[in-house]
Structure 1
Amino acid sequence: MNIVFYSAQSYDRVFFDRANQSFGFTLHYLDTPLNAETARLASGAQAVCAFVNDVLDEACLDALKHQGVSWIALRCAGFNQVDLEAAKALQLPVVRVPGYSPEAVAEHTLALILTLNRHTHRAYNRVRESNFQLQGLLGFNLHGKTVGLIGTGQIGMATAQILKGFGCELLGYDPYPNQVFEALGGEYVELGELYRRADIISLHCPLSPENHHLINGAALAAMKPGVMLVNTSRGGLVDTRAAIMALKSGQLGYLALDVYEQESEFFFRDLSDEILTDDDLSRLMTFPNVLITGHQGFFTGEALTQIAEITLANLRDLAEKGQCDNQVV
């Protein structure tokens, strides 16, 4: 099987080449993102492998079909970047990696919470300049705080278990309640109550048209003043401009983002010698109580190993069986 990888980074080559020793596929890596214009680069391939910021809309899928592509593999859990109805109509099976080391994202979530709370990033820079003052670095005890988790799937549960170890009270919102969350001592509540009671709110849900900008101006206004908001899920869940207004007013006390709704233009690229053209992203980075990482939550050796192995196994199953347990179309 010939597979073309789009938006490929150097680490993708390392982990997929290693996993491919058990499969024997022919892998071609492109750093180019996948969209309707670049779909032609998949000519001669039986499958393409795409990532979170590739655009697999109807035009792209149609172009892939005309290039002879038979299968689409996503090396991520989310599939909001794919027009599923168009894929179904074109008879293009789409597979994903639903679970890859949920602990990786959960641990990064906690890293963001602890760093933003205790200002360790600012303290690190101060000490390197021989400034040992503590003024401006005051944090709070995580123990005893109420944390609201929106989404209690695998990643949400891994986060809940860590937070329970810190002595936090757990609130959850999920259309599909998880008995394990309740067994852990978590309490399911409606969103309004979660907003009102939580000191920290962490997002762990997929992006869909229904929950786009779930965290908007009204949601932020309903939250406890000074709340910490953490998003390691999908950028489109948060209305960036509403978050900026809430930061300016003080309603939002802390904001940690590993994802951003316009990240496809910036993330996974070195722009250190360029001027950022996104005014909202530039504004966010001026706040001392905002911490941004570049979609790093998944980035552990364990997670990348699982992503590579599951992605290639998904394509093998499609080729050999005509179906796959991780198929979304």
Structure 2
Amino acid sequence: MKLLFFGTKSYDRKSFEQELKDYPSIKVDFTETNLTPMTAALARGYDAVCAFVNADISAMTLEVLRGLGVGLVLMRCAGFDAVNVDFAKSLGMRVTRVPAYSPEAIAEHAMGLALTANRRIHKGYNRVRENNFSLAGLVGETLHGKTAGIVGTGRIGAALCRICKGFGMTVLGADLYPNQALVDVEHVVDEYVEYDELYRRADLISLHAFLNEDSYHMINDETIAQMKDGVIFVNTGRGGLVDTEALIRGILSGKIGAAGLDVYEEENPNVYQDRAGEVIDSPTARLCSFPNVVLTSHQAFFTHEALSQIARVTLDNALAFENGTDFVERSVVC
């Protein structure tokens, strides 16, 4: 089994090589080049490719891969919106993902973003480094006793519900498929409500929904207008869930009092790239200029435990493909 690993970073290589000793039949070659229609030809002679959320696995990419004999696309992430799944299926290719590599890591990062943006921790840190000990402009809100609204209560959303409940918050959930056990058994969700009601009642809103045609730009001018003045807003889901220009308008108007973002619409050219020497004129750059906004570069998952789990599930799926056995549960896309 020969696997070409696209978009390699040092931590990817380290985590996969640590696990490869348990998979002697799988040979992995690593390239820093990302997977696109132009680079797919590098996979000549390989049985499978491994890619991340910022790859371009369009119909053209898949067509090249299939023509080279590649039969498996291993996404080392939970999302698969970078893949033209229907076209892959039509070509007889298999696509897998890692459905839940560390829900707690992402939930913890979401709360970290909320706390940092709300209490202006990033601004305070930078001031003290410059011997400025003023507190002007750093006041935030106490979360204890407030209401958290969790949009999407799958494994990640559920983990954040538990964290918010530990903070002494009332927790509202909104989900097309409510997990009633979070209410009746764990008692970490006080009640499930419709999305509009959650927007109206929550002091902290965190997004953990899937991105599809129905959820695209679910946060827009209309939904932001329904929110409380000064709401704390967090997105560690997908950038496309939020209309960035509407978010900026909400911040400027004061409707959104603090925002913590690990994902954003235009992230693909930026994710995991060092662009420090460039002048970037974009909505993202504008968001970075606001003192009540904190952005990170799609790093919510980034813990040692998560990297190990990603490697093991990905390699388990590669082994299953080689042996013709079942893939890891819930990991098969097509």
TM-score by length of 2: 0.96
| Equivalent in the alignment of 2:173 | 172
Separation (CA, whole Å) in 1 of partners of 2:174 and 2:83: 26
How far is the alpha carbon of 1:322 from its aligned partner?
Answer: 4.5
| Equivalent in the alignment of 1:5 | 5
Q: Which segments of 5 or more consecutive residues in structure 2 lack a partner in the other structure?
A: none
Separation (CA, whole Å) in 1 of partners of 2:202 and 2:299: 25
Residue correspondences, number: 328
How far is the alpha carbon of 1:287 from its aligned partner?
Answer: 0.8
| Equivalent in the alignment of 2:208 | 204
Separation (CA, whole Å) in 2 of partners of 1:185 and 1:306: 26
Q: 1:272 aligns with which of 268, 271, 276?
A: 276
Alignment of 1:328 with 2:333, yes or no, is yes
SS in structure 1 of the partner of residue 252 of structure 2? helix
How far is the alpha carbon of 1:135 from its aligned partner?
Answer: 1.6
Q: Residue by residue, what CA displacement relative to the aligned partner does 1:180-205 show, whole Å, maximum 9, x if unpaired? A: 32132411100110010011110011
SS in structure 2 of the partner of residue 263 of structure 1? coil
Separation (CA, whole Å) in 2 of partners of 1:60 and 1:191: 37
User: Aligned ranges for residues 230-269 of structure 1 at < 5 Å?
Assistant: 230-269=234-273
Tell which deviates more after alignment, 93-102 or 181-190.
181-190
Q: Please identify runs of 4+ aligned residues in structure 1 that moved more than 4 A.
A: none
How far is the alpha carbon of 1:17 from its aligned partner?
Answer: 0.7
Separation (CA, whole Å) in 2 of partners of 1:82 and 1:88: 11
Separation (CA, whole Å) in 1 of partners of 2:307 and 2:325: 26
SS in structure 2 of the partner of residue 265 of structure 1? coil
| Equivalent in the alignment of 1:122 | 123
| Equivalent in the alignment of 1:139 | 140
Separation (CA, whole Å) in 1 of partners of 2:298 and 2:333: 23
| Equivalent in the alignment of 2:57 | 56
The letter for the 1-side match of 2:62 is L
CA RMSD of superposed structures (Å): 1.1
Q: 1:192 aligns with which of 186, 196, 212?
A: 196
Separation (CA, whole Å) in 2 of partners of 1:124 and 1:290: 14
How far is the alpha carbon of 1:28 from its aligned partner?
Answer: 1.4
| Equivalent in the alignment of 2:311 | 308
Q: Residue by residue, what CA displacement relative to the aligned partner does 1:185-242 show, whole Å, maximum 9, x if unpaired? A: 4111001100100111100112112211111111111111111110001111111011
SS in structure 2 of the partner of residue 264 of structure 1? coil
Q: Residue by residue, what CA displacement relative to the aligned partner does 1:91-120 show, whole Å, maximum 9, x if unpaired? A: 101111011111110110111111112221
The letter for the 2-side match of 1:88 is K
User: Aligned ranges for residues 222-233 of structure 1 at < 5 Å?
Assistant: 222-233=226-237
Separation (CA, whole Å) in 1 of partners of 2:118 and 2:140: 5
Separation (CA, whole Å) in 2 of partners of 1:289 and 1:119: 6
SS in structure 2 of the partner of residue 22 of structure 1? coil
The letter for the 2-side match of 1:290 is V
How far is the alpha carbon of 1:308 from its aligned partner?
Answer: 0.4
The letter for the 1-side match of 2:11 is Y
Give the percent of matched residue pairs that are identical in Structure 1 and Structure 2. 48
SS in structure 2 of the partner of residue 149 of structure 1? strand
Separation (CA, whole Å) in 1 of partners of 2:6 and 2:209: 25
SS in structure 2 of the partner of residue 53 of structure 1? coil
TM-score by length of 1: 0.97
The letter for the 2-side match of 1:221 is A
Contact 2:220 2:243 in 1 (8 A): yes
Q: Which segments of 5 or more consecutive residues in structure 1 lack a partner in the other structure?
A: none
| Equivalent in the alignment of 2:284 | 281
How far is the alpha carbon of 1:164 from its aligned partner?
Answer: 0.5
